[in-house]
Amino acid sequence: MAEPERPRTEPRLRPAPLLFEPAEVAADPEHFFDLESIEDPRELLSRATELTLAFRAATDRAVEYQAIAAAQLADPRRFDRLTPADIAARAEWTEDYAKKMVEYGRDLLRGTEAEA
């Protein structure tokens, strides 16, 4: 797994919206956010790029929330805190990656608390 990125200082860009895909459409392996129906290559490149950026932004946000949750679960003030090994098992990570995510989450939480 990739190493978590450090907190950002610049404002977040708002990615293109991910359009809802009904279950019956999503079940078709050839269907992907209606890209297969776009015939103009310029429009296809534009929409595919929007989706790529949206998925990257969503991934970054999800990783940040994973890190925050890992830090909260490892908080020594919790009576039910988890070890890095326990967190790794729950998230299907290596123990080393869990330790890095806990530290990253602590950094994020410190940044959030400083802003409050």
Q: Domain limits of the chain?
A: 39-115
What's the whole-model pTM score?
A: 0.67
The pLDDT mean for the chain works out to 82
Q: Name the percent of the chain lying above pLDDT 90.
A: 59
- pLDDT one-digit tens code per residue, 37-86: 899 999 999 999 999 999 999 999 999 999 999 999 999 999 999 999 99
Residue 27 is predicted with a pLDDT of: 64
- What is the SS3 string spanning the chain? CCCCCCCCCCCCCCCCCCCCCCHHHHCCCCCCCCHHHCCCHHHHHHHHHHHHHHHHHHHHHHHHHHHHHHHHHHCCCCCCCCCHHHHHHHHCCCHHHHHHHHHHHHHHHHHHHHHC
